[in-house]
Amino acid sequence: MFSKQGAFVAVMLMLASLACLVSDVKDAVETINKGVQLLQEIDESGTWKYISEGMDGLNNANGYAAAVTVTRGTTNDAGDTITSVTEMLVWNIRTDADDDSMIEVIRDGETRSYLIVDDQAYRIEDGRYFCLQSGQNEEEIFAVGVDGVFFKYSAESAGVQVMSVAESAGSETVNGFDTEKYTLISKLQEALDILKEFPSEELKQEIADVPPFYINGALNVDKTTRALIRFDAQYANLDKKEGNAFRFEVTELGNQPDFTAPEPGQISQACTQPVPTPGG
């Protein structure tokens, strides 16, 4: 979109000010044009466009149930498989028509439950509710809805989401939903190759320092509601043989219970002030 193009041009023009020769500026302008063309392609069929529209579809579905899994670990040489898991996080999320959520988070074999209602997050323990006041609880980073999980955790595979386009791969049934499947084609290397042409030795060195990587992904969109049903993203640093995998998957659309604030007698630690919950 325009903002992305503007940002790309702004960065390029800033770097162009470092060029001393007219020929360097000419090369910079040509590089800017290539960059804008790439961003236009991403705007028209970019992955983030499908994710954003898919999230809108979910928000219009009168509630949904979804699971999110983040896996980190050691990869094989190709980077396409995590051979040894060092960390796994799982969110089981139910969201009602008012965007309030009941969340179960599994981390290191431990399960915790959270309620997000009226923009306030509570940890649930033995039937008691403990408010997670913003900035005061380390675990509040886990007590987030679907939007928050995408914002915080799928950023590790940002090259898949932001710098990629979605290519149609036919139809696929996922959890009973008739979906359109898209394979994600990374444009990150193409973007780096464009930046290599810029007349800046410092920039070229920074790009040269980028380790070889593996990127892969796919997404599925419900044909009827246009809701995002599944999103997979993988990234690996091939030098370190370290990678992560992100999966989002909807299991139900609609038919969710109405989640309400706990009764005062159930609250062991009350919220002292309304605190917006990211992604709630």
Q: In what order do the strands lie in the sheet with 228-237?
A: 164-174, 177-186, 213-222, 228-237, 242-253, 64-75, 82-95, 101-107, 110-117, 120-125, 128-131, 267-269
> Residue 90 and residue 110: Cα distance in Å, rounded?
10
CA-atom Rg of the chain in angstroms: 22
Tens digit of each residue's pLDDT, the chain (280 residues): 444 454 444 444 444 444 433 344 445 445 555 555 655 655 665 788 888 899 999 989 999 999 999 999 999 999 999 999 999 989 999 999 999 999 999 988 889 999 999 888 899 999 999 998 765 555 666 667 777 776 666 555 555 566 678 899 999 999 999 999 999 887 777 777 777 777 777 777 777 777 888 888 999 999 999 999 999 988 888 999 999 899 999 999 999 999 999 999 999 999 876 544 544 4
